[in-house]
Structure 1
Amino acid sequence: MHAIDADHRLLSAMRDCGADPRIAAAARALSWSGEHGALWLAAGAAGAALDRERRGAWLRGTALIGAAHLASMGVKRLVRRPRPQLPFLQPLVKTAGRHSFPSSHATSAAAAAVAFGALRPAGRHVVPPLAAMMCVSRLVVGVHYPSDVAAGALLGGLTAGFGAQWMKRGVAHV
């Protein structure tokens, strides 16, 4: 089986999960909340407001998420891969753009998992699973190929990883 065939088959299988109304509703909610990194940017702002000891780190982590999102948008404009078209299965959400590679939702989610996961013990237990669900939601709603999500997650994780030392600068106990 070729990689392109596997991409289509896995996408079809994941999109089929959206036939369950509960799964479809959860995937739509995650997709909506992740638009333009909104969930993660709001979490960063809330963390900065509530955790005065680590305010700077929260703000720098939020900046890394924003940078990762912008990087994904730049790559999308270069690659210009069209969104998937599945026979007999319409996407469960509308998208802000026509291009699919990489998934900006996955990029910002992975950046948040790396950045915010490093700030508090709770972040290591809550953010990565939520970020993974965000990534999977893009397949369930049928707007990204698995390779789009994998590339986005890699881009987001690398962006936040490269900025991790800057993010934690001047913060004790991180």
Structure 2
Amino acid sequence: MSLIVAGRFTTFPAAEAAAEKLYAGGFLEEDVNLFFVNPRGQHARQPTHDTHSAAGAPPTTVAVSSHHTRNVTAGAVAGAVVGVVLFSAFSAALPSVVIAAGVGAWIGARIGASVGAKATAQQMSAHHERVHREMRSDGVLLSVHVCYENQDLAAQLLREGGAVDIECASGHWHDGHWADFDPTRAPMPFAAPSGQRMI
């Protein structure tokens, strides 16, 4: 596991200027990485570790709409089939069978819609609950791979560079980025002096 100190900025230019301060302070390019963190509830399912990988939210609305349409269609088809089978069994005239199919389709669609609405409500409730638990604010995160001796310097340079929040973490630093960054986990604020930190 690696020690990581990170600062949140509101713009890329501000984060890039702070990165220059880190380089001037002796940090290597492979130990500094910046990337965008999406607003709460809009994080991609896969881990994000650069300026492009966090773009876009999971298609929650599309999935819900698709399931709802599928339930209504399935209910309508099932209702129509049941109506035709029941009236055909009694050797009813063709107009009666057609009417029975229409009525069955309407009833089946209503049942499918209510089942779909219930499933949609459960999905949306789970989504809102997850978003409510997320504590990380959006913005540009400038992360720095540090050691125990230089983590205070990294935090100081981030603060001087205008970081809104500064956090510390224990994670995997690989190929110049924070490989296991999880945007849904609450950040641990960086506290000075060193004795008060959890790392």
Scaled by the length of structure 1, what TM-score is found? 0.28
Scaled by the length of structure 2, what TM-score is found? 0.25
Bigger Cα Rg: 2
